Structure 1
């Protein structure tokens, strides 16, 4: 884990501001989605990247409104030609 030295207070609505420098370094822009999860007693924020419904890898495509990676999409195409 990288220690950044940033400390932020949560406002009365439960919001916190991610420092501009950190957003820039992580390529997090306005309207990007952030995934929030818990590991033990730690809250983890990460830039959201859709995952393939078949293998869990980063998905680049959408097939029937579902995220699918290129490799699984090619496998689906190949199997549909065989059937």
Structure 2
């Protein structure tokens, strides 16, 4: 059992991070289904805006989202 700190953070135990290959700087998608919080490691080559495959690793945006930002 873990407690939230005053900022709403919770520590993921080292054993679980190691088992799931979660490292400092990795992004996690957080969702809630039926009163259960779900954490899912995000692929580094996924667009941050829409979730599609990313074409530009520097920005983590797919081509379509990049074009929308430039318009």
Q: Which TM-score tier does this pair reach, normalised by the shorter chain? A: 0.5 to 0.7
Q: How many residues align?
A: 54
The alignment yields a C-alpha RMSD, in angstroms, of: 2.0
TM-score (norm 2): 0.64
Structure 1 gap ranges (5+): 1-6, 54-58, 68-83
Of Structure 1 and Structure 2, the greater strand share is in 1
Aligned residue for 2:34?
40
Structure possessing the higher radius of gyration over alpha carbons: 1
CA–CA separation in structure 1 for the residues paired with 2:34 and 2:42: 20
Runs of 4 or more, structure 1, over 4 Å off, are: none
TM-score (norm 1): 0.56
Structure 2 gap ranges (5+): 64-71
Choose the corresponding residue for 2:5, options 11, 17, 27.
Answer: 11
